[in-house]
Every structure is written in structure tokens, then in C-alpha cells.
Amino acid sequence: MQRNQIFFIVVIVLILINTGLLLNHYFFSPYEKRHEHGNDRSWIVTEVGLTKEQEEKHIELRKAYFKELGILNDSIRCIRARFVAQSATAALTDSLSQFWSDSINRWHRWADELAFQHTCNVRKILQEKQKPLWDSMVQVIMLRKRED
């Protein structure tokens, strides 16, 4: 009888610990804590001081940019999947491997050019006093480390 009571207490303690961990995971996620300052758009609006018209234009440019970037990333993912699938063949030559790598790199270059064009387009809608703030923010955004 004594062993059954100890076993029962251990099971109850484990259930309480698991419940606490689940509550912590779903209600106190570190992802939410990192992003409690709002989204990037509101950060840009407050830091650069965009007017309402500039904000609307920025939203349009941002949506168009991410739509095109999504298409490019899907293409890169497909090409990369086909390249990795080629590893199943034993006869993958160096030149064929170079071809696949160059193809992936070309798509990455297009994505980088798209990002550059987007920053230039946003810069065009800014006033002269806002441009240095935007330039420094772009550097911060590009150099930050992703933790998610």
C-alpha cells in the first residue's frame, strides 16, 4: 500500500509539471515577449516619422516586395530540392553540381536585387531629413541576427 501511495504522488507531481510546462509554452512564449514592441511597420513609422501618405505608400511597396520575394523564395526552394534530389544519382559530375549551384546563386542574386530596389523605392518617398534615419534602420535590419 505504501508503494502505491508514493507512485500516486509521483504521477500527480509529473502531471502538474507537464501542465505547467504546457501553460508556459502556450501563454508565456518567448516569441511573444520578443515581439511585444509591435510589428516592423509600426517601428519604421515611429522611428523615421512617416506621414500618413508615406505610411500608406510604404505598405503598398512592402506588400509588393514580399509578394515578389515569396515567388523568388519558392523558386529557390524548388531548385534546391531538385539539386538535393540529384545526390541520389552516383554520376553527379562537378560541372553539373556547379550548374545547380550557379542556378541557385542566380536566384539569390535576384532576391538581393529586389531587396535593394525596395529600399531605394522606400527612400524615394521619404523627405530629406528622414533619409538618414531610414539608411541607419536598413543597416540595423540587415545586420540583425534572427533568433526565431
pLDDT score, position 69: 93
Give, in degrees to the nearest 5, the angle at Cα 65 between 100 and 120: 100
pLDDT score, position 16: 92
Strands (E), the chain: none
pLDDT score, position 64: 94
H or E stretch at 32: helix 30-34
Per the document, the length of the chain is 148
pLDDT score, position 22: 85
Give, for all 148 residues of the chain, the pLDDT tens digit. Answer: 688 888 889 999 999 999 988 888 777 766 555 444 445 556 778 888 888 898 889 889 999 999 999 999 999 999 888 888 887 776 777 888 888 889 899 999 999 999 999 999 999 999 999 899 888 888 888 887 666 5
pLDDT score, position 73: 92
pLDDT score, position 36: 47
Whether the Cβ atoms of residue 69 and residue 119 lie closer than 8 Å to each other: no
Sequence-ordered list of residues with C-beta below 8 angstroms from that of 83, at least 6 positions apart, any chain: 100, 101, 103, 104
The closest alpha carbon to 50, from 139, 142, 127, belongs to 127
pLDDT score, position 147: 61
